[in-house]
């Protein structure tokens, strides 16, 4: 239950440990399986090599995936319902297989627009395996068997182009991926349906109505689920296929999003305009983000995954050191310097704008627009916050308001501050939270510009300033005393 601080790439490290055959040396728990002495029948039973429990979902969508090997060393892949509630989820795969093959069958020999033969698209073959139900699940679950396919995935090929520095070939392959998904034979303009709302949410967007959609949509047709063998592309997993209109660009976006989200070497170098190059606009992406959020909620339903429950109970998430450093730097940068506007009701945090190019000790240049607030009111006053030093010495080289008609108003003689004026443009703050106020700024003010030199004060400078500050402080008290 201790907070977990990630200081290195743990996924990559575990991959290396497993590859080196050292997993058991680092494992923190063990599963002991006790069974009767091996018999002839036992020898014929398939050995489980891999098992994945997809039970962090709603009950009617929970499944298991098993990879086994028989006595003749033949591998097998099974998908099983996790309970009777998800039997239908497995049974639906039969119809999905037929529909996917029909959807892409007419495109087998078409020349693609990016050069070369358009790939032959097909879904991974399956067979009913309920005869294995007793052996695998004691007869309680629906079972299908998928062909075991060994080969390079589209994800592997994309990665290879990146690692080889063949960025143009990477884009060609990404475009071919998009072209394949857009080759569905039933393509037509999107129409909202009750089924769409159930899975993706009731999304209000004019953008949706302009998009091409397919009514046989395998939204998990991501690069990792496509095996490429010459001119044939095989869809490995089609569990999440829907038979109502879904924008094809959403499938493309989703495939690229999860590809790029991985920390695999090279993927961070993919140019940011990849979506634009594949014909996906920023407006679409905002819609697709909402769709993905709705889909994830549909998959999980009211079920609370163990990972989420543990996090809620312990409330101590894993912290990645790189993210912590970036977050801390961003937080500190936001705290350095800022400008706050007063629209007639005092200075409010919501009206604060950070100075992005700030450093702790450096020449500070500020150029910030002065805009009306959400009620259309113009700014009345302005507060320029400097970094929270214990004490600081600043030289104001420029402090001005730019007006709508292009005038530059020098405001250096109109500032209010709690600092001691050391010289004509030099001020000394002997306290934290230094700030400068500009009151009654013009109604046609459009920009606030400033150039300020922040000077680190050591003890020598402070000692030189003390007599002058004390003298001014004593003079002020004397004047105030006489006025009383």
The answer to which of 214-218, 238-242, 323-327, 400-404 has the lowest mean pLDDT is: 323-327
List Cβ neighbours of 141 (8 Å cut-off, separation of 6 or more).
64, 80, 81, 82, 83, 84, 87, 90, 133
DSSP-based three-state secondary structure for 125: coil
Q: What is the mean pLDDT of residues 360-379?
A: 80
Tokens at residue 436, please?
A: 């400068």
Please report which confidence band the pLDDT of residue 379 belongs to, taking 50, 70 and 90 as the band edges. very high
47: DSSP letter: E
Q: Is the pLDDT of residue 458 over 70?
A: no
pLDDT in tens, 108-149: 444 444 445 678 888 888 777 666 655 665 566 788 888 888
Higher-confidence residue of 8 and 325: namely 8
Q: What is the mean pLDDT of residues 299-326?
A: 58
Q: What is the mean pLDDT of residues 150-163?
A: 89
Tokens at residue 13, please?
A: 């490290």
Average pLDDT of the chain is: 79
Tokens at residue 84, please?
A: 């009777």
pTM of the model: 0.57
For residue 446, report the phi and psi dihedrals to the nearest 5 degrees: -120, -30
pLDDT of residue 158: 92
Count of C-beta atoms within a 10 Å radius of residue 173: 19
Q: CA 50 from chain center: how many Å? A: 30
Distance of alpha carbon 360 from alpha carbon 275, whole angstroms: 38
The distance in angstroms from the start CA to the end CA of the chain is 64
The residue with tokens 């292009």 is 406
Q: Is the pLDDT of residue 197 over 80?
A: yes
pLDDT in tens, 45-68: 788 888 888 877 888 888 888 898
pLDDT of residue 357: 55
Please report which confidence band the pLDDT of residue 288 belongs to, taking 50, 70 and 90 as the band edges. very high
Q: Is the pLDDT of residue 40 over 60?
A: no
Q: What is the mean pLDDT of residues 291-317?
A: 67
Higher-confidence residue of 391 and 266: namely 266
Q: Is the pLDDT of residue 419 over 50?
A: yes
Q: Is the pLDDT of residue 337 over 50?
A: yes
Strand ranges for 109-245 from DSSP E? 120-123, 126-128, 143-146, 188-189, 212-214, 217-218, 226-229, 232-235, 241-242
pLDDT of residue 313: 43
Count of C-beta atoms within a 10 Å radius of residue 462: 14
Length of the chain: 484
CB environment 412-439: b (16+ within 10 A), e (fewer): eeebeeebbebeeebbbbbeeebbbbbe
Q: Is the pLDDT of residue 225 over 50?
A: yes
Q: Is the pLDDT of residue 464 over 80?
A: no
The answer to which of 58-67, 238-247, 432-441, 470-479 has the lowest mean pLDDT is: 470-479
- Contact 399/366 with Cβ under 8 angstroms? no
pLDDT of residue 327: 55
pLDDT of residue 196: 95
The answer to which of 108-117, 174-183, 410-419 has the lowest mean pLDDT is: 108-117
Please report which confidence band the pLDDT of residue 84 belongs to, taking 50, 70 and 90 as the band edges. confident
Higher-confidence residue of 11 and 219: namely 219
Helix (H) or strand (E) holding 451: strand 445-455
* 188: nearest Cα among 240, 244, 235, 149: 244
User: Is residue 230 left, alpha or beta, with left meaning phi > 0 and alpha meaning psi from -120 to 50?
Assistant: left
pLDDT in tens, 19-37: 999 988 888 888 887 766 6
pLDDT of residue 146: 87
DSSP-based three-state secondary structure for 279: coil
Higher-confidence residue of 317 and 215: namely 215
Please report which confidence band the pLDDT of residue 377 belongs to, taking 50, 70 and 90 as the band edges. confident
pLDDT of residue 292: 92
The percent of residues above 90 in pLDDT, for the chain, comes to 27
366: DSSP letter: E
């Amino acid at each position: 239950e201790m907070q977990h601080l990630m200081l290195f790439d743990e996924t990559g490290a575990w991959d290396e440990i497993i590859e080196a055959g050292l997993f058991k040396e680092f494992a923190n728990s063990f599963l002991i399986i006790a069974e009767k002495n091996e018999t002839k029948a036992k020898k014929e039973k398939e050995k489980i090599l891999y098992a994945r429990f997809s039970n962090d979902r709603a009950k009617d969508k929970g499944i298991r995936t098993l990879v086994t090997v028989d006595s003749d060393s033949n591998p097998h892949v099974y998908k099983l319902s996790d309970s009777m509630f998800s039997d239908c989820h497995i049974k639906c795969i039969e119809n999905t297989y037929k529909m996917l093959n029909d959807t892409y069958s007419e495109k087998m020999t078409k020349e693609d627009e990016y050069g070369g033969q358009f790939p032959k698209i097909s879904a991974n073959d399956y067979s009913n395996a309920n005869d294995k139900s007793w052996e695998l699940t004691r007869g309680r679950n629906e079972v299908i068997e998928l062909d075991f396919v060994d080969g390079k995935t589209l994800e592997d090929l994309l990665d290879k182009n990146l690692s080889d520095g063949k960025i143009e070939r990477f884009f060609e392959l990404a475009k071919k991926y998009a072209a394949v998904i857009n080759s569905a034979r039933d393509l037509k303009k999107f129409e909202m349906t009750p089924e769409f709302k159930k899975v993706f949410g009731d999304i209000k967007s004019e953008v949706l109505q302009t998009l091409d959609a397919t009514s046989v949509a395998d939204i998990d047709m991501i690069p990792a689920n496509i095996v490429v063998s010459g001119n044939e592309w095989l869809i490995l997993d089609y569990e999440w296929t829907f038979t109502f209109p879904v924008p094809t660009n959403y499938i493309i976006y989703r495939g690229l999003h999860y590809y790029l989200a991985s920390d695999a070497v090279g993927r961070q170098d993919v140019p940011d305009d990849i979506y634009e190059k594949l014909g996906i606009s920023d407006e679409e992406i905002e819609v697709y983000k909402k769709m993905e959020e709705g889909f994830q909620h549909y998959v999980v339903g009211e079920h609370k995954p163990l990972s989420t429950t543990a996090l809620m109970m312990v409330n101590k998430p894993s912290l990645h050191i790189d993210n912590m450093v970036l977050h801390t730097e961003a937080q500190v940068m936001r705290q350095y310097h800022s400008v706050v506007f007063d629209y007639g009701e005092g200075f409010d945090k919501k009206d604060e704008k950070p100075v992005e190019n700030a450093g702790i000790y450096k020449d500070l240049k500020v150029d910030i627009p002065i805009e009306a607030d959400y009620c259309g009111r113009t700014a009345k006053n302005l507060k320029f916050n400097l970094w929270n030093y214990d004490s600081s010495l600043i030289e104001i080289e420029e402090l001005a308001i730019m007006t709508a008609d292009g005038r530059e108003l020098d405001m250096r003689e109109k500032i209010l501050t709690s600092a001691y004026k050391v010289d004509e443009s030099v001020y000394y703050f002997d306290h934290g939270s230094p700030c400068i106020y500009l009151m009654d700024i013009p109604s046609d003010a459009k920009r606030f510009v400033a150039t300020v030199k922040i000077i680190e004060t050591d003890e020598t400078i402070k000692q030189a300033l003390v007599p002058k500050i004390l003298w001014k402080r004593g003079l002020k008290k004397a004047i105030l005393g006489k006025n009383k």
